[in-house]
Structures are given as structure tokens and as C-alpha cells.
Amino acid sequence: MKGNYSKIGKLLNILLKIVFIILIVIILALLPILKAMNIEIMLIYYFIYPIGIAFLILMYQFILMFQSLGEKTAFSKENIKRLDKAKNSSFFIALCILVTILFSTIMYQFSLFMIIYFIFLTILFLGVAIALYILRELFKDAIDYKEENDLTI
Amino acid sequence: MPIIVNLDVILAKRKMSSNELAEKIGITQANLSILKTNKGKAIRFSTLEKICEVLNCTPGDILEYRKNEKYE
């Protein structure tokens, strides 16, 4: 059964997929391009890989969830697993950014602005992880209600 | 499951098939099957009413309470 979501939903879906592809290209191409331009690659730039991959996983879960929205199978165990993966990815990214801060304050002279900026990013991704966890619990309850309703003759 | 649905017995008594019953009370054969195999979690009073009307019986003829034998 096909479901319809609003125009904004369709726009977001397309945007998500475009950003996903752009991100893959950036992550794969960034360091080699910098090397080719003879720009010094600080050790810290290598953090792009774990953070990037985790973020791609996160976005992919969202793409799959959008798909399930379209097919009206939103309240399913599959989506709960996807929300779990998304939450774990987000939490991992927050940890990576935190490590980046510690790493750079030890190895480089980082401006105060950068430190504050990275702390903000850490808290942001922690917030996303928390929101995804809450959503997961809500979905779990919703599935129970749906099953109860489906099995009421 | 403590509440048992005894449709088979009374269907045999009234010489009616499941498909016929499903059609007469206006539910799908799949849903009737869920009821008969005790996989349902709840039944609407409206459905129960239609079943009793069609089969000319009372809810007690169809629903039975059997205590769980296992205790945790």
C-alpha cells in the first residue's frame, strides 16, 4: 500500500538523498585533493573518515525510514533497529568530535573559538542521539498499540 | 491465552462454513481466522453482536475462560 506524504516531505526526501551522495564524494575525495594541492594534511583531518562514515550510516537509516514511510510500514520492528543504529552513529560522532577537541588541544594551538565550536557540535550530536532514543521508545509503544488494534476483530 | 473462542463447535451445530459466517457478519476471512485460532487480542462488541445474531446464540456459547495452568 503506497502512502503519500506532503510536498515538504518529498522535498526533504530528495534533499536527503542528494546530500548523501555529495557527502560520499566529499569524504572520498577531500584528502586526496588536498594532497594534490600540496596542502599540509594535519593529523586531525583524518578524523573525517570515522565521522564521515558514521554520518553516512546515520543518513542511510533516515533514507530507509523515509522509504518505509512511503510504503506505510513505518511502525515496524525494522524501523526500531534503524533508529537504534542512527542513535548509535550519532553518539559515536559526538564521541569522535570530543576526541578531536582533546587531540587538538594537546597537539596544536587551537583558538578558543574552535574549541567552543567543537564543544557545541559534541552537545548537538549528543542531543540528536537522545532525541533518536526517545523516538525509538515512542515507536516501540506505537507498535504495541498498532498490534493491539490490528488484532482487534 | 485464557479466553478461548469456540467458533468451530457452534459452526458445526449450525451447519455453516467459516467463509459463510465471515461474509454474513462482514469481516474478512483472514480476520475470522485470527479469531478462531485465538490469535486475536480483542473483539469489538459490534462484531460479537453480529456473530450472536447470525448464529442465534449468546456470547457464552462462543467465548470461554480457561485458567492458565502454569504459574510463574
- The alpha-carbon gap from B7 to the nearest alpha carbon of chain A, in Å, equals 14
Burial of A135 (0-12, 13-18, 19+ CB in 10 A): middle
Burial of A107 (0-12, 13-18, 19+ CB in 10 A): exposed
* Contact (CB<8Å) A153/B39: no
Mean pLDDT of B18-45: 92
Ordered alpha helix ranges (H), chain A: 7-36, 48-70, 77-107, 112-150
pTM above 0.80, yes or no: no
- C-alpha pair distances (Å), A142 with each of A76, A136, B39: 9, 10, 19
The set of cell numbers assigned to B53 is 445474531
How confident is residue A3, by pLDDT bands cut at 50, 70 and 90? low
From the list A147, A148, A152, the residue facing B43 with the nearest CB is A152
Q: Mutating which of A147, A152, A153 best tests the B interface, going by the most B Cβ atoms within 10 A?
A: A153
Chain A residues with beta carbon closer than 8 angstroms to that of B43: 152-153
Q: Chain A to chain B, count of Cβ pairs less than 8 Å apart?
A: 23
Average pLDDT, chain A: 89
- Structure letter (DSSP) for residue A47: G
Amino acid symbol at A144? D
* Contact (CB<8Å) B35/A147: no
User: b/e string for B11-26 if b means 16 or more Cβ within 10 A?
Assistant: beeeeeeeeebbeebe
- How far apart CA A25 and CA A139 sit, in angstroms, is 33
User: Do A16 and A59 form a contact (C-beta atoms < 8 A)?
Assistant: yes
Task: Report ipTM for this prediction.
Answer: 0.78
Out of A10-19, A29-38, A137-146, B11-20, pick the least confident.
A29-38
Judged by DSSP in three states, B3 sits in strand
* Contact (CB<8Å) A152/B44: yes
Instruction: Note the pLDDT tens digit of each residue in A90-121.
Output: 999 999 999 888 887 777 776 788 888 889 99
